[in-house]
Every structure is written in C-alpha cells, then in structure tokens.
Amino acid sequence: MKPIAISRLTICGIDELPTHRNHGVSHVLSVLDPDREDPAIFSDYAPHERTILRFHDVIDDKEGRPAPIKANVEAILEYGEGLKNSREERRDGHLLVHCHMGVSRSTAAMITLMAQCEPDRDEDSIFTTIRAIRPIAWPNSVMIALADEMLGRKGRLTAALHRHYAAQLARDKMFEGWMTDLERGREVEFGRAIMPQKTSV
C-alpha cells in the first residue's frame, strides 16, 4: 500500500497479537464478533491509530448471526479513505488487520483496502500478495462480492477470489474439510468448479 505511505502489511488472529506489539505497528483495523471482548493487548503496543468494526464471519444469515452487509464493507472503505487522506502526515506505516483467527474477515478486509488503494492493480496479483502475507487466507466471499460491486471491479475481484479458493484447495486439502465444517461449503464449490478435472486412464 505504498501509495498511502503504508509499506508493511500484517494479517493475524487474536492469539497472535502479542507477537506484533514490538513491530512498529502504526495502524490497526480490528474486525471482531459483536459480542467479543476487546483484546487488552493493544495497551502494550506503541502509540497507534486503531479502528474497531464488529460483525459476524458467516456467508449465510443464521439465527443471531447475520452475514456481512453493505454497511460493514462501507466502514472498511471509509477506513481506507482515512488512510489515503492522512498519507501526507507520515513517511511510512505498518498496518495490522486482525479478526478472530486471521483467516476470513481480516483477509477480506485487507483485499478490499488493497483494491481500493490501487484501483488499477490486477486482481489476481492482490490475491497473490494476500497468500504471501497470510498463507491460510480464506476470505469471506460475501465481503468480497460487496467490495467488488462498491469498487466497480465488475466481477473481477470475485472471479479472482474463486481462483484463490482453487489455489488454496490445491495447495492444502485441509481447507475443504475446515470450510465445510464451518458451513462454508459454497465457497469450496466455487474453487472446485474451476479446478482442473482429473481424468481416468
């Protein structure tokens, strides 16, 4: 995100936050469950700017756990606008985005910010960067679809997400069982639909 004077990007889960307290984090975006207690670890960080967003990590509405909505992604984009507007005030920066496990909401949020910050950047290269930053990335498809529409990516971000799912499934079989157990089987199917089909001899 060098265009907004943020040169270091980190994605993690709550349990990993203590390992980053001495890493010069200047900006934090926390994405938490609505009823999740706020992590106390940030009091141990050097002075930094922090924004907290709260919504559930599901892709279908469940009782008491609605899927992300447009307002949630609007809040992420508003955060990104703030970073862009304040870039003249800093020479560099380290942005840390976290959710509960650093797998779904945080990776989707970081992808949204990257796509917003670099509107001409190829979508697949964004996902390549995300895999380098966070190899276990499995972004929330509802968030990405909303970001795609709001950023005018015309379906390209969603298509790149499906290719990302396919790449993750091919790289590690654990993703299929993990996401199926989390009732995210539709996302698994998105990836499987574009994976090369094995042919019998």
Dmax (CA) of the chain:
63
- What the chain holds in terms of domains, given with CATH numbers, is 2-153 (3.90.190.10)
Q: Are 114 and 1 in contact (CB under 8 A)?
A: yes
* Full DSSP string of 127-174: HHHHHHH-TT----HHHHHHHHHHTT-TTHHHHHHHHHHHHHHHH-TH
Instruction: Give the other-Cβ count within 10 Å of 45's Cβ.
Output: 19
Cβ contacts of 193 within 8 Å, gap of 6 or more:
162
Phi, psi of 118 (to 5 degrees): -125, 75
The span from the CA of 167 to the CA of 71, in Å, is 30
* pLDDT on residue 198: 60
Q: Tell me how far apart the alpha carbons of residues 3 and 128 are, in angstroms, rounded to a whole number.
A: 19
The answer to whether 187 and 108 are in contact (CB under 8 A) is no
C-alpha distances out from residue 99 to 35, 38, 154, 198, Å: 13, 11, 27, 36
Instruction: Give the residues of the chain that fall short of pLDDT 70.
Output: 198-201
For residue 101, give the DSSP letter: S
**Is the whole-model pTM more than 0.75?**
yes
Over residues 47-93, the pLDDT tens digits come to 999 999 999 999 999 999 999 999 999 999 999 999 999 988 888 99
Q: Is the Cα torsion angle 11, 1, 126, 186 positive or negative in sign?
A: positive
